[in-house]
Amino acid sequence: MELKLNGKIIKGVGGLYEIRIARSDADMLRGVGMKIENDTVLCKARGVFRHEKLTLLVGDDVVLRVDTELALASDADARENHKRGDEAMGGVMIEEALPRRNELIRPPMANLDIIFAVFAAAKPEPALTTVDKLITIAEYKEIEPVVIITKADLAPDAAEHYADIYRRCGFRVFIEGLGIDGGELEGYIRENADRVSVFAGASGVGKSTLMNRLFPSLGLATGEISQKTQRGRHTTRHIELYPLDRQFGDSVMGCIADTPGFGMLDFVQFDFYTKADLPYVFREFEPYIGSCRYTKCTHTKEDGCALLEAVKNGEIPEERHKSYLEFYEVLKNKHEWDKK
Ligand SMILES: Nc1nc2c(ncn2[C@@H]2O[C@H](COP(=O)(O)OP(=O)(O)OP(=O)(O)O)[C@@H](O)[C@H]2O)c(=O)[nH]1
Ligand SMILES: [Mg+2]
Ligand SMILES: [Zn+2]
């Protein structure tokens, strides 16, 4: 019997994908004798994905083709099929990828609802422009950015200071750390348990540590940060979406991902949005746009700029405008480069 089912890629390493399928489909496959654990199947993609260099991302919704006879064939037969170049490993194969709602380059994922922008209050010292790059890219892609500040136990005042910056802009902010009750964040994830969310941020900020605290059964590896550079050592090596039903109950459909931390150079290539988009990806700028003296105001140095005035009055956090200025410089030059 051959049949088609829908699923979601929750992990992909070396051309082998782990696909989450519906409980009812998993039961059906078990019913015909297949061994299905955790409502997931392991498979490869149809050759066309390799030949046409179509990338599949964690978070992609896909159509699987299941050949139950092949799936139930003895291991020796399955190996023989495999040797002949048959991609239908174990009788299951990714047939087709469904259109994406959105996709990110870093972390490389598709169909996200929420990005948790994670940074540490200290060790490593936060680079707010990197945080803002992530946040503005999320805004541009219409993925909800939520701020998590970790290691507040090491620098409680700094944590409050950073939290204040982002709260003033209208973001949800969670302060976390050793000995701090993470119940509020867990509540937020529970409220959004049908969505797909991701922890993203620099290496060593404590993403995996926090995931472990929220979901103790995961047992994710965590690493020391380097004494010399104060940076993380890229402990997490691949992206994996964890289905939340294991935590919150059977009817829950969402997932949450841990991701490898960013390095220092990861965001240098900057072509996610253009200079024209820039004022609109800072949500706290919105009330001021259109009120500047000059219609072509760049909000960088002009007289009568409503935005600069708001920064001066403390209505817009200076740090955020600093990120704006930095991105403006990069995007401005990109523009000139393109015209050459
Ligand atoms: N004091 C303190 N240390 C923390 C906290 N969270 C994480 N750490 C430590 O920070 C180090 C890095 O933590 P990880 O969870 O591996 O960081 P990560 O963000 O997952 O790093 P990558 O996987 O490399 O991206 C570990 O030594 C943790 O014990 C915290 O809230 N407080
Ligand atoms: Mg990690
Ligand atoms: Zn202006």
The residues whose Cβ lies within 5 A of ligand 2, an ion, are: 207-208, 235-236
Domains parsed from the chain with CATH numbers = 2-97 (2.40.50.140), 103-258 (3.40.50.300), 278-339 (1.10.40.50)
Confidence at residue 340, expressed as pLDDT on a 0 to 100 scale? 44
Confidence at residue 85, expressed as pLDDT on a 0 to 100 scale? 55
Return d(Cα 18, Cα 72) in angstroms, integer: 19
- Which ligand is closest in space to the CA of residue 116? 1
Confidence at residue 257, expressed as pLDDT on a 0 to 100 scale? 97
pLDDT above 90: residue 307? yes
Average pLDDT over residues 312-323: 97
Mean pLDDT (the chain) is: 90
More confident residue, 224 or 168: 168
Q: Whose CA is nearest to atom 1 of ligand 1?
A: 151
Q: Which residues does ligand 1 sit against, CB inside 6 Å?
A: 150-151, 153-154, 176-178, 203-209, 222-225, 232, 234-236, 260-261
Minimum-distance ligand 1 atom for the alpha carbon of 259? 25
Q: Which two tokens stand for residue 40?
A: 């997931």
Confidence at residue 249, expressed as pLDDT on a 0 to 100 scale? 87
For 31, half-sphere exposure in the C-beta direction (CA atoms, 13 angstrom radius) is: 7
Minimum-distance ligand 1 atom for the alpha carbon of 258? 20
Using one digit for the tens of pLDDT, what is the confidence trace for 51-80?
777 889 999 999 999 998 888 876 667 666
Confidence at residue 333, expressed as pLDDT on a 0 to 100 scale? 79
Q: Whose CA is nearest to atom 13 of ligand 1?
A: 206
Average pLDDT over residues 82-107: 81
Confidence at residue 266, expressed as pLDDT on a 0 to 100 scale? 65
Confidence at residue 303, expressed as pLDDT on a 0 to 100 scale? 97
Using the structure block, give the residue that is written with the tokens 């620099």.
202
More confident residue, 184 or 84: 184
Minimum-distance ligand 1 atom for the alpha carbon of 232? 24
Confidence at residue 87, expressed as pLDDT on a 0 to 100 scale? 57
pLDDT above 70: residue 89? no
Using one digit for the tens of pLDDT, what is the confidence trace for 103-161?
998 899 999 999 999 999 999 999 999 999 999 999 999 999 999 999 999 999 999 99
Using one digit for the tens of pLDDT, what is the confidence trace for 192-211?
999 999 999 999 999 999 99
Q: Whose CA is nearest to atom 5 of ligand 1?
A: 151
Residue 336's pLDDT band, with cuts at 50, 70 and 90, is low
Confidence at residue 99, expressed as pLDDT on a 0 to 100 scale? 96
pLDDT above 90: residue 271? no
Among 209, 210, 225, 262, the mutation site with the greatest number of ligand 1 atoms within 8 A of its Cβ is: 209
Question: 123-137, 220-234, 314-328: which range is least confident on average?
Answer: 220-234
More confident residue, 144 or 250: 144
More confident residue, 127 or 271: 127
Average pLDDT over residues 88-93: 77
Confidence at residue 86, expressed as pLDDT on a 0 to 100 scale? 53
Average pLDDT over residues 245-263: 89
Average pLDDT over residues 218-247: 85
| pTM reported for the whole predicted model | 0.93
Confidence at residue 49, expressed as pLDDT on a 0 to 100 scale? 84
- When computed from its CA atoms, the radius of gyration of the chain, rounded to whole angstroms, is 23
Using one digit for the tens of pLDDT, what is the confidence trace for 275-296?
999 999 999 999 999 999 999 9
DSSP collapsed to 3 states, the chain? CEEEEEEEEEEEECCEEEEEECHHHHHHHHHCCCCCECCEEEEEECHHHHHCCCCCCECCEEEEEEEHHHHHCCHHHHHHHHHCCCCCHHHEEEEEECCCCCEEECCEEECCCEEEEEEECCCCCCCHHHHHHHHHHHHHCCCEEEEEEECCCCCHHHHHHHHHHHHHCCCCEEECCCCCCCHHHHHHHHHCCCCEEEEEEECCCCHHHHHHHHCHHHCCCCCCCCCCCCCCCCCCCCCEEEECHHHHCCCCCCEEEECCCECCCCCCCCCCCCCCCHHHHCHHHHHHCCCCCCCCCCCCCCCCCHHHHHHHCCCCCHHHHHHHHHHHHHHHHHHHHHHC
